[in-house]
Every structure is written in structure tokens, then in C-alpha cells.
Amino acid sequence: MTLKSYVVGGWHAGDRDVQQLRDATTGQVIAAVSSAGIDFKAVLAHARTVGGPALRRLTFHERAAILKALAKRLMEMKEEFYTLSFATGATRADSWIDIDGGIGTLFAYASRGVRELPNGRVFVEGEVEPLSKSGAFVGRHVCVPRDGAAVHINAFNFPVWGMLEKLAPTLLAGMPAIVKPATATSYLAELVFRRIVESGLLPEGAVQLVCGSVGDLTTHLGGQDVVSFTGSASTASLLRGHPAVIGNAVRFIGETDSINSCVLGADAAPGTTEFDAFVREVVREMTAKAGQKCTAIRKALVPAAQLGAATEAIRAALGKIVVGDPRREEVRMGPLAGLGQRREVLARIAELRREAELVSDAAPEVVGADREQGAFVAPTLLVARRPDTARSLHTVEAFGPVCTILPYGSNAEAIDYVNRGEGSLVSSIFTADDRLARELALGLAPYHGRLLIVNGDCARESTGHGSPLPGLVHGGPGRAGGGEEMGGLRGVMHYLQRTALQGSPETLTAISGRWVRGAKEHRGAVHPFRRTLPELTIGDTVRSAEREVTLVDIERFAELTGDTFYAHMDEEAARRNPLFGGRVAHGYFLISAAAGLFVDPPFGPVLANYGLDRLRFAKPVRPGDRIKVRLTCKAKSLRAEKGYGEVTWDTEITNQDDEVVASYDVLTMVSAEPVEGG
């Protein structure tokens, strides 16, 4: 089988400099790959001039719908992907992380796109910044898709998840992607990508695939492009230092292999839930994907008093791991990705053994496979009795089923030993003592992108040390690459340009599609609550009549709710309050009274009020004060598949002196179609 690249609208097979790819278990050749003959300048141009404009014509919600449809399509085909994934050395459990995890990330970003982004093409970030005394000159930040291409360079260990977790936020942002899978396992990435193209769900140019070398692609990168890289720190450094990347200030997102750790708390003695969870996690991270995970535990720190017990427990658990052909049901750990990877791992183990003693590397029976033909490495456990003088333990990573146990004497020592890794993706802490957890977490946080803290309360439901999640940041400082992937909308922001706008409220409203206080208000004979979502316009406003707030109102509200706080009910006590100087109305009474002033009661397009945002009480209201309310359509977002949309109403309550006493956003669901009888 010859792998093909998908570039400039078609499939391309290189005819020279062909590299053979082998099954990690049997050593048999399963594919050949070459990118010779590809015009990489044209590939970038195709993404920028064809894919980019097509994606930018879609709204965030339309892109999210494509991600959801694509995830459903791939989920229907996943057994095909599982079958080929065995060739990478992955067991079915390993492939679940890679394949289902990748598809799940598409689903997650599809959901976030609808819930957290507007059904528009501009994302408004943060609040309006007042820039003048009168309010006639204001500022705000908007985010729009960049005009370039996103180049995704992925690692060999997760050919599906690594591709999809980058594609999801990129496509949601509206930016085209050029995917470069790691060559060793590119046959699986190519199969999944081929099914993506065949689905016809994405516009042409939105995605391209390069199997093999990227040639001179980096030479043609420009200031609107983004490079997202996962792999070794040395390769990341070369890419980041490329003259085109530096000279054009190309946005670079790096996620590199790091020395990740886990710490057993001083309180977690043998027999505790935390001790048992620690042992399970170390063993799982050593053997899942044969230890070929950028998040795998490389250093396991234990209190010096528990060194013997922890070492024996981990060694015993490793002895039960069945190694062999990942196609066999009983096998729990397969081979590394290839013989070259095995040579690399064995060389790194030799370096580590200069500072640590071998505890367990017994070559177990290899079930259903040949030890020499396959890229097998036994689970290897070491102990470093002098981590204070060690160097390699904190700088050398054996990217396989390898972990070193380090004893520590104090929390400060544990923090020091972990942070000597100079930046990691993740570390985990196992303790039932929250004070100890706090000390460790705050000491480790500056050097980590993620920290997992496990105790008996969450151990059963913990997603684990090595599981990056779409809603949380995946990345880390220093050696870990300095980048952040996923993390909810944080991952999308890499592919958007944040721009500060300055101008009049009316102008910024027109540009952003979000009403700014001071912009025009549209007041007509028809109440906005009588209008369907398409009929509503940004700026539609209701200004109410006045209502006097009385002492009877306050006392009846207190009786109804049970809120008899002194500021509302005790005149003498309220006078002593320097903020009030006497009895005042309940803030929530004001919200309720305001609703009574602005609502249009009969059945109509407004289906529900689902919340309030940004509520602030600015000034107390006393008996005898008169309040009125302004309600303005601030933003609207259609959920096409639901038949309704969300409308945000900017709301201000003012008193008889036109002073703002409360401000907030009212959130409603409004029908997109006329409602019968409404």
C-alpha cells in the first residue's frame, strides 16, 4: 500500500525517496510513503485562498455542526480504524484512547461551539472599555479568524487523537489546516483523513494532508499562519528557530515531551486508597501505549519511609502485565512503534542506569509474537536512591515503558525533584491531606500545565494522570514546549486574531454585532417580546414607566421570601450601616419589580428566561424612591436545529434622578418562527 497526500484538491503519491513503514509487532512492511513532487508553496496558497474563505463564510455554529456531523461519521467507521491501529503496536484499550478520544474531542468542540460562541463570524471578548468621560468613545476586543493556514505537525504515538484534537479548534475558529502526521504511524492517520475527505462535509481546501516530509513548506510561512507542533523538544526548537517563523512572527504552539512526575503524599501509607491509586496509576502510565505517551509518568516520588513498600507493589503489579501481539485479547501491552524507537528507548535506559538501579525489567513471555521481529521492551522500573545528586533522571526521557522511583524526605524536596524537569505537561499528587495537597500543588504549579490531585473522594471517578481533556489545558512551560492546546475556547483562540476596536458605541455595535451602551436604541410600537428572533434587531429597546418603592413593598417581599436581613427590616440597625444609612429595598425585589415593568405578559415568541448575567447593585433604593427600567436587545444567536435562539438583553434600573441602581443581562430563549396564538 502506498500512502497518498491530499493536497490542492487531489491525492498525490510520491515516486522517489520512498520510506517503508512496518507493523510494530511483526516487522512486516505494510505501507510505503513519500511526499516527493509536492509544491508546498501551492499547498499553502490553496489553504489560504480556497479553504480559508470557504470556512470564514460559515458562522461558528455552522462550523460546529460540521464537527458534530464529522464526529458521527467517524464513529460509525471506528472499527475499521481499530483494525489498522493494531499495526502501530496499540492494544484495543490503547486505541480507545486514540480513536474514541479523538472523535470525542470533535464532539466536545462541536458542543462548545454552539454553547459558548455566537452564531456569527465575530467573537466578542470581554467587556466594553470606557475611553472618554461622556461615553461617546469606547473600546472593546473582537476575535476573528486569521487569514493564513494552520500547519499541524503531529507525533507518532496518537495518530488519530493528535490529528483530531488539533483539527477541532482550528476548524471551529474558521482556519484551514495542513496536517503532517508522524511518518511512522501515518498509515492510520491517512485512513482516518481519507474518510474525512470522503464524507464531503468540509469545504475544499479546509483540510490537506502531507504524508512524508514537509519539504520546504516552512520557508513559505507568513505572518497570518500558525504552526502547532507535538513531538520532541529538539525538533520544536528547530522549527521555532526557522528564519521564516522568526522573521514573520509566525504564531507557534509547541507541545513537547517532558519529564512528568507523580508524588505519593507522606500520609498515604500502604493500605490507604491513595497508596493503591498511586500504584495503579504508575503501572497504567508505564504500560498504556507501551509508555509512549507525552504525559506518561517518568518519575514516581515516594516518602523515603515508603520506598520499599511502593517499589515492591509496583514491581509486583508489573509482573502481571501480559506483553505481546496487541491483537490478542489477553495482551495488555504491545510493542513500541518500531525498531528504531526500541533502540532509542534502550539507549535512554542505559543513561538512566548510571544514576539508578534496575528493579524490574524481566523479559516476560511475548504472547503471540516474535520478540526480535517486534519492537518489544519490557516494563522497566528503576530506583534512584540519591535523586539530590542525579542529573539524567531529571533531563533524560526514555519514551517507553520506563519509570524511576525517587525517595524524598520533605515536601520541599519533592517539589524540588519534580521541578528539576524544568517544565512538564502534567504531574499528579496522591494524598488525603488537603493542606499537604495545597503545599505541593502551589509549589508545582509554575512548572506544569496540569496537576491531578487524587484522594479517596475522587479516585474512582478520576480520569487519570495521562488523560488530556478537551476542557482543560494540554501543554506546559519550559521543556514541555510553552504551548497550550485544547483548554476549551482557549484552544480556539490560537487560530483567531484578537483586535482592539476604538470608536463610537454605534460603530462598535455595527462591527461586533453586540449592542454597546450609548449606541442607538430602537423603540417602536411593537414590544420586542412580540418579535420572533429574525424580527428582532440589535438595539430594540423598551423603556418603562416609573414605579415607587414603598415600605409595604419591602416588608411584603421579606415576608414572602423569608429574607429579613437587618438592612431591610431594622431601621435603627440599618442607620448604623455606612453604606445605607437606613432601610433599603432588597436587591432581588428590584429585579422582580423591573421584570414587572418591562415584560409583555401574553403568550408569544419569548419561550423562557434562563438566567441573569453580570448582575451588579450600584446604589441603594429607599422607600419613596421611584425606579424605571431600560431593556435593550444586546445580542442574539440562532440555534437553527432547535427552532429558537438565545437573546441577551442589556438591562439597567435607574432611580428618579436617572442614577443607575442595578445593571445586568437578562437571558431569554426566543422562537425563530411565529408561535400559534402569539
Q: Which residues are catalytic?
A: 255, 294
- SS3 category, 572: helix
Bridge partners of 33, per DSSP, are 19
d(CA 468, CA 449): 10
Interior angle at CA 123, CA 117 and CA 127, nearest 5? 105
> In this structure, which long-range contacts are made by residues 13-22, counting pairs with CB atoms below 8 Å and at least 24 apart in sequence?
14/38, 14/212, 17/212, 17/213, 19/183, 19/212, 21/183, 21/184, 21/185, 21/186, 21/187, 22/338, 22/339
d(CA 518, CA 500): 18
Radius of gyration from C-alpha coordinates of the chain: 30
State phi, psi for 587 to the nearest 5 degrees.
-60, -40
Interior angle at CA 335, CA 329 and CA 339, nearest 5? 155
Output the DSSP codes for 284-348.
Answer: HHHHGGGG--TT-EEEEEEEGGGHHHHHHHHHHHHTT--EE-TTSTT--B---S-HHHHHHHHHH
- SS3 category, 515: coil
DSSP label at residue 219: G
Place of cell 519534580: 418
Output the DSSP codes for 467-493.
Answer: ---TTSEEE-SGGG-S-EEETTHHHHH
Place of cell 455554529: 61
For residue 653, give the C-alpha cell. 434600573
490 Cβ contact partners less than 8 Å away, ≥ 6 residues apart: 473, 484
> Residues of 276-309 as b/e, b for ≥16 C-beta within 10 angstroms?
bbbbebbbbbbbbbbbbbbbbbbbbbbbeebbeb
d(CA 408, CA 385): 9
